Structure 1
């Protein structure tokens, strides 16, 4: 496994981040524990979760906490990232980014995760109704209490990142060190403003859905082989991009790798990307993601991928001179 710094911090994380959203809804606790053990064996030290994940909010964090409680240095060897924002129930103040909810949500996550600190505490969404001064004041208290080490964002626009960093600077805080965004060969909108903002402010990009729901994971071969059946939006998206995805799968064959490996490797070639989030439901899916770290794409391969899936220029050059 290769490691890199998380944004401008001194924190070293693996080039693949283990996403845990499937733990609980689709993966049993026993299997989730086995996957996390296998991730450590493969050198993955960066795990991502959220307080809303699970069949019921909090379930996935509880699964991680139970795994940490088995000892063996599991917590110490893990760079733990979790998120808050979504409502945990229908009672007022049990969601969003008010100072009250940050305090309550953080303490609840710590209890479920059976740990006394979070390495990376992330805002799952922008809160348009809470001022940054309030948010950073609550975060500053948590940092001083030793409950949080670093702070990140998720699904932010470029100007949200700029706004957050300006407010943090007024308080002499480090501010955001990472941004989780939807980013893959099919969805490259963050190249307009989010990625340039992240690069400017020293944030590491942590892409979620790196294979666009499986469309970049060999979907044509799988459907033709009867291994997978697509319906609804997924089927419509495949038809809209069939030629590009067909060319993508053919390129993977030429390189001698799997389509999923190619898609992950492309993300790893992006300078601003720290670690794509892989969300395996099984041990086999985890194993299939590991070769992406070792695959080096040539300039020709990268150019061919850009032709198949045109990216975006940095704003305003994307739409103006």
Structure 2
């Protein structure tokens, strides 16, 4: 396993982050395709054994059960001081007023709920799960600063939003002497490259670590075009992200993979990691080979010609994934 600094911080993270949205009780929340605790724990154990020290979840994943599963597994399989544990806040956790969002009240309540579910005194990275237009960003950033000063989080991060919004958040933190955002968790893969226009250059200039979600486009880049899975059939959010005319990109991935004698996942992940702004793609694993492919991708260096072949069929599209 290779390790790098997370953005401009002194924190060392593995170049692969295990995305833990895949682990949660299927009967809780909106993800009927997730693996329950008995099925999910072996993947977390395998990741630890492989040297992965970076794990990402969220309070809203499977109604909190993802945090519960991840917390119990890491307590058994890992040394807490060696693990970089990330979670998120914003999604609605209960009906009624203040059941979601990024108000001071919501943040202060949800960090304690997340810590209880994770079974830890602190998280290493506490991220806002999208922008909250109903709350002043000053209120949100100050509350996050207070979470850090209370010792409940070591760093704070953000996720998919417009570059102007993130620039504003960075400016608010700097102007007031509050804890600065260390990371951006955004949507970036061969089927969605709009982040190359503004967000990735902003992060590179500001020294913000980039940890892309869905680097394999919900698995679409790893299989023949049009192949259905349990997730593609039930993942309502995923259905909003991609277009029906991206066959040529998927076929280019297959061609490079065949020529190299590697899996398509390795090619698609190697392409994401190739971008100089990217710190560590967030990879989900629900089959044993998923982790193996992710780790192997770190050793795959694409040529400029191969990258051009992969990028050639892409056409501009409307911004998606901010909801």
Structure-1-length-normalised TM-score: 0.88
Quick one: structure 1 residues 75 and 282, their matched pair in 2 at CA, closer, same or farther if it must change by over 3 Å? farther
| 1:213 partner SS | coil
Task: Say whether residues 1:8 and 2:8 are aligned partners.
Answer: yes
* Partner in structure 2 of residue 20 of structure 1: 20
Alpha-carbon contact 1:67-1:74 (below 8 Å) kept: no
Deviations 1:132-183 (A, max 9, x none): 2212221222111111110100112101111001110122134111111111
Greater alpha carbon shift after TM alignment, 281-290 vs 144-153: 281-290
Task: Say whether residues 1:37 and 2:37 are aligned partners.
Answer: no
Task: Say whether residues 1:203 and 2:204 are aligned partners.
Answer: no
* Partner in structure 2 of residue 306 of structure 1: 311
The structure whose Rg is larger is 1
Residue from 259, 266, 285 that aligns with 2:264: 259
Q: Which runs of 5+ in 1 are unaligned?
A: 313-321
* Partner in structure 1 of residue 132 of structure 2: 127
CA distance in 1 between counterparts of 2:145 and 2:243 reads 46
- Structure 1 position 228, deviation (Å): 9.1
| 1:76 partner SS | helix
Alpha-carbon contact 2:249-2:311 (below 8 Å) kept: no
Q: Which runs of 5+ in 2 are unaligned?
A: 27-33, 318-323
Alpha-carbon contact 1:79-1:119 (below 8 Å) kept: yes
| 2:165 partner SS | helix
Where do 1:152-167 residues align within 5 Å? 152-167=157-172
- Structure 1 position 28, deviation (Å): 2.2
Task: Say whether residues 1:61 and 2:67 are aligned partners.
Answer: yes
Quick one: structure 1 residues 155 and 285, their matched pair in 2 at CA, closer, same or farther if it must change by over 3 Å? same
Runs of 4+ in 1 over 4 A off after TM superposition: 226-234, 236-239
- Structure 1 position 104, deviation (Å): 0.2
Structure-2-length-normalised TM-score: 0.88
Deviations 1:78-102 (A, max 9, x none): 1000000011010211211111111
* Partner in structure 2 of residue 47 of structure 1: 55
| 2:98 partner SS | coil
CA distance in 1 between counterparts of 2:60 and 2:224 reads 29
CA distance in 2 between counterparts of 1:243 and 1:133 reads 44
CA distance in 2 between counterparts of 1:254 and 1:17 reads 27
* Partner in structure 2 of residue 285 of structure 1: 290
CA distance in 2 between counterparts of 1:104 and 1:253 reads 50
CA distance in 1 between counterparts of 2:75 and 2:43 reads 16
Alpha-carbon contact 1:262-1:292 (below 8 Å) kept: yes
CA distance in 2 between counterparts of 1:3 and 1:97 reads 32
* Partner in structure 1 of residue 320 of structure 2: none
| 2:58 partner SS | coil
Alpha-carbon contact 2:190-2:249 (below 8 Å) kept: no
Alpha-carbon contact 1:17-1:46 (below 8 Å) kept: yes
CA distance in 2 between counterparts of 1:229 and 1:176 reads 32
CA distance in 2 between counterparts of 1:37 and 1:115 reads 18
* Partner in structure 2 of residue 274 of structure 1: 279
- Structure 1 position 238, deviation (Å): 7.4
